[in-house]
Structure 1
Amino acid sequence: MATRPTLPYFVPPDRLPSPLPTVAEILASTTHLKRFTGDPHPNVVRVGEHFVVKFGADIDLREGENTLFVQQATSLSVPTIYAIFHDEATGYNFIVQEYISGQGLGEYWPKANQSGKEAVVTQLRHYFDELRSLPSPGYFGGLWRQPILEGYVTGGQRALEKSDVPPCDTEEEWVDTMIRNADANYPIENRALFETRKNLCHSIFQNHDSVFTHADLHPSNIIVRDDNTVVVIDWSLSGWYPSYVEYCNMMTSHHHHPTDLTLWMPRVFKEYVAEYGWMLQMYAWIHWGG
């Protein structure tokens, strides 16, 4: 059974592939890993043969906690977490994890043959079926009843502070929070239109189970090893969210998808067609205004 780790967290030395890098060694690394845009990420570095480190004042240690939870509670392939800590001298948070060799799904997919695609999709289906089968605590929010991290509810890129978005006991509260934060970022002047949109959202987003959700499943966060084993990384936004969220988030991030990947998603997730249509509307609202 998964239990919340005590922070700072360090694995026992006999489980390390080599000694943990020091803060000085981490900060000195010039091997920056790439983001989904292809640009180097300033706060994600490879250190030595075995380690990747996320660090910085804005790195949320909950990513490490979330990954540990998945590692303990499921059979999913995820990076091993070696350390989660805050360094007082720099003011930075650090998550030290296993380096995963392989290709991001965005790089792998266009070159893959049919059997390679089948293998990836089959693994993803197994992974997310297993996540959905985890017993839910019944609320909608972050792991261990921490604040919500999911981007639509927090208001996207112009979000309020994450600590200001507490867990919701009901899906109705979830929808109210999503609408309120979108409207706080980009107010709809026609309040009758706002109320109509709110009512329609409540009619669509109801009667969904709370399930454990990755919530940022674009192709850069899916690594395919040389043996075609799939590893899912970056659990920073994860939590107990409505069952449609994973499918809709994956589909609305289609601009990150290579070629025909979205056509394969019904083989990974149950489809939520009506919810997807409204999440496209929410995507536009939180990014550019209603």
Structure 2
Amino acid sequence: MENVLRLKLDVMWSRLDPPEKDRIASQLRLQIDTLRSLPTPGYFGCIGRRPFEESMFWTAPEDGVDDGTYSGPFDTELKLNDALVQKYLYNSGLHHKAQYYRRVLPLVLRDHGIVFSHGDLQRKNVILKENGEPVVIDWETAGWYPAYWEYALAMFACGSWEDDGHEYVPRILTEYPNEYAWFDMLRRELWS
């Protein structure tokens, strides 16, 4: 176990030089591109047409309210966006802002392909093998997401922006800066 912890990418990152970071990013890009080549099942959700496990869709089990309204699966991106609005309303109770989101999300978060995604791609979920090869771990939120989701979540995971991690995200994933801005705002509002 000591070896694995020593080789976690979040721990090792500050010790790596730019060429080593580039090499790791390139290898991760190949892995992600392979995931993206999987044929879509035609829905947004977890494998087997199950609801999302991602925390943005979570509701308290004792509330007994999630019949798929919040967590899917969803047949269209429009229905996924509506679930995000419903979740915002569930968390905040702010009807007027929910109406704003209901109006604008279909304008800004639309026309994205359904792609297989890890669902939580960040440095803490990558370990380096003895030979330096990156291995992505912690697949519990994996599923079929809009193409922008993995990028937006990876950028969100850059957190306090204390290092150069954000510079390597676009080397691993296609950039979606506009979608990230909306995702960042929604995620902060859902969990603040």
The alignment's TM-score, normalised by the length of structure 1, stands at 0.60
The amino acid of 2:81's aligned partner reads V
1:263 and 1:143 map into 2 onto residues whose CA distance is 31
Q: Deviations over 1:140-197 (max 9, x none)?
A: 0110111112222x14xxx344774230011100000111012101121xx3332122
- Percent identity between matched residues is 30
Q: Which residue is 1:282 aligned to? A: 186
Q: Which residue is 1:172 aligned to? A: 78
Indicate whether 1:259 and 2:143 are aligned.
no
Mapping of residues 1-290 of structure 1, within 5 Å: 100=4, 103-152=7-56, 154-155=57-58, 159-161=59-61, 164=68, 165-188=71-94, 191-255=95-159, 259-288=163-192
Pairwise CA distance, 1:283: 1.4
From the two aligned structures, give the one with the greater strand fraction: 1
Is the 1:139–1:168 contact (alpha carbons within 8 Å) kept by the matching residues of 2?
A: yes
Cα 1:257–1:102 change in 2 (3 A) is farther
Larger Rg over CA atoms: 1
1:110 and 1:201 map into 2 onto residues whose CA distance is 37
Q: What secondary structure is seen at the aligned counterpart in 1 of 2:73? A: coil
From the two aligned structures, give the one with the greater helix fraction: 2
Q: What secondary structure is seen at the aligned counterpart in 1 of 2:145? A: strand
* Residue segments in structure 2 that go unaligned for 5+ positions in a row: none
Q: How many residue pairs end up in the alignment?
A: 186
Cα 1:193–1:133 change in 2 (3 A) is same
Pairwise CA distance, 1:258: 6.1
TM-align CA RMSD: 2.1
Q: What secondary structure is seen at the aligned counterpart in 1 of 2:19? A: helix
* Residue segments in structure 1 that go unaligned for 5+ positions in a row: 1-45, 50-98
1:146 and 1:100 map into 2 onto residues whose CA distance is 31
